Amino acid sequence: MKIAFIGLGNMGSGMALNLHKAGHEVTGFDLSDAAKSQLAAQGLQVAASAVDAVQGAQAVITMLPASEHVEQLFIGTAEQAGLLAILPAGCLVIDSSTIAADTSRSVGAAAAARGIDFLDAPVSGGTAGAAAGTLTFMVGASDSTLARAKPLLEAMGKNIFHAGEIGAGQTAKICNNMLLAVQMAGTCEALALGIANGLDPKVLSEIMRRSSGGNWTLEVYNPVPGVQENSAASRGYTGGFGTDLMLKDLGLALNNAVKNKAATPLGTLARSLYAAHSLQGRGAEDFSSIIKMLQKPV
């Protein structure tokens, strides 16, 4: 299939390469020249603009930071029309960015008006999952649109869940990420307490991983440098899931909670913790660096 992939960052780079390896004809685009050069060096065709990338594409996949990027790309701005104005009817659009469900619904409605099939398909699994092609997709779409997208999603992921109609994938994603934010903060708090008592973080991590405190962060995303070889912490908190992206997701979750009069005490506290961490200048660092807030500076 001829695919345009837009947004070749920490996640999009691995996802685009997996589609390329699966035999699809992928053209990538990113605003960052560095991201484009990195992917071109690995054999991916890259374009000079998003408009160039989508020429002749049967499917467009996006992996962008936030709602405003997706809205501007597809719907456009006062000065410039978005991609929906030039994509042919029958084109398939998969947005895997984590954005507001309302934005997915408005982009989906604008796509439907032009005969374009849209699905929100945010992911979980981190950069390791993106590189390995083992992501979990949470899809919001009609049955028929999901059936069209499935072969592409299967080239990038292992678990594909149909959460409901357009927007439902995003709702599932913010619930998951609110839980992840709380788990990471709690895991950091427990590890910091153990370290302050002289425990070896590797030993303590293993004890908790195999005990009732075990969770995904201890399995694959340990926040202490050196405990796991391939963690973001062991790479100086780079190349993972940025604190500011987690802060965005917690904002989406809390906006939704306000709208639905839902009680989210731990999510609210987690948002404040990540916001304070970002204000300390750590917004670009991986979100597991929240452990620095809970330890004496080294």
Catalytic residue ranges: 173
Residues 61-81: b if buried by 16+ CB within 10 A, e if exposed: bbbbbbbebbbebbbeeeeee
108: contact with ligand NAD by CB under 6 A: no
**How many Å is the Cα radius of gyration of the chain?**
20
3-state secondary structure of 27: strand
Q: For residue 45, give both structure tokens.
A: 């065709």
Q: Which residue is nearest to ligand NAD (CB)?
A: 9
- Comparison of 47 and 149: residue with beta carbon closer to ligand NAD: 47
Q: Tell me how crowded residue 182 is: count the other CB atoms within 10 A of its CB.
A: 19
Q: Which stretch binds ligand NAD (CB under 6 A): 3-11, 16-24, 181-189, 290-298?
A: 3-11
Cβ proximity of 127 and 11 under 8 Å: yes
Query: CB-wise, 94 or 245, nearer to ligand NAD?
Result: 245
> Which residue in 4, 5, 12, 264 binds ligand NAD (CB under 6 A)?
12
- Residues numbered 113-152 forming contacts with ligand NAD, rule: CB under 6 A: 123-124, 126-127
Q: Which is nearer to ligand NAD, 24 or 69 (CB)?
A: 69
Rounded least distance, CB 140 to ligand NAD, Å? 15
CA distance 121 to 162: 9
Residue from 5, 29, 137, 274 that binds ligand NAD (CB under 6 A)?
29
Binding mask 231-260 for ligand NAD (x = CB under 6 A): ---------xx---x---x-----------
- The distance of closest approach from Cβ of residue 251 to ligand NAD in the complex, given in angstroms and rounded to an integer, is 11
| Site for ligand NAD contains 103 (CB under 6 A) | no
| Beta strand spans in the chain (E) | 2-6, 25-29, 45-46, 59-62, 92-95, 117-120, 123-124, 135-140, 157-164
Contact assessment for residue 48 and residue 28, using Cβ atoms and an 8 Å cutoff: no
Distances (CA, A) of 107 to 140, 226, 258, 268: 13, 43, 23, 28
Stretch that binds ligand NAD, among 20-28, 57-65, 252-260, 265-273 (CB under 6 A): 57-65
φ, ψ for residue 172, nearest 5 deg? -60, -40
Q: Per CB under 6 A, does 46 bind ligand NAD?
A: no
User: On the CB side of 80, how many CA atoms lie within 13 Å of its CA?
Assistant: 8
**Considering only residues 26, 64, 94, 254, which one is a binding residue for ligand NAD as defined by CB under 6 A?**
64
Q: Which two tokens stand for residue 213?
A: 């405190």
* Residue 20 sits in the site that holds ligand NAD (CB under 6 A): no
User: Which neighbouring-strand residues pair with 135?
Assistant: 157
Minimum CB separation from ligand NAD for residue 27, in Å? 13
> Is 57 near ligand NAD (CB under 6 A)?
no
Rounded Cα distance, 208 and 283, in Å: 28
Closer residue to ligand NAD (CB): 204 or 222: 222
Give the residue among 259, 279, 240 at the shortest CA–CA distance from 100: 259
- Cβ 192 to ligand NAD shortest distance, Å: 23
Rounded least distance, CB 115 to ligand NAD, Å? 24
Are the beta carbons of 110 and 84 closer than 8 angstroms? yes
User: Any contact of residue 65 with ligand NAD (CB under 6 A)?
Assistant: yes
Q: What residue ranges bind ligand NAD (CB under 6 A)?
A: 6-12, 29-32, 35, 50, 63-65, 69, 73, 97-98, 123-124, 126-127, 240-241, 245, 249
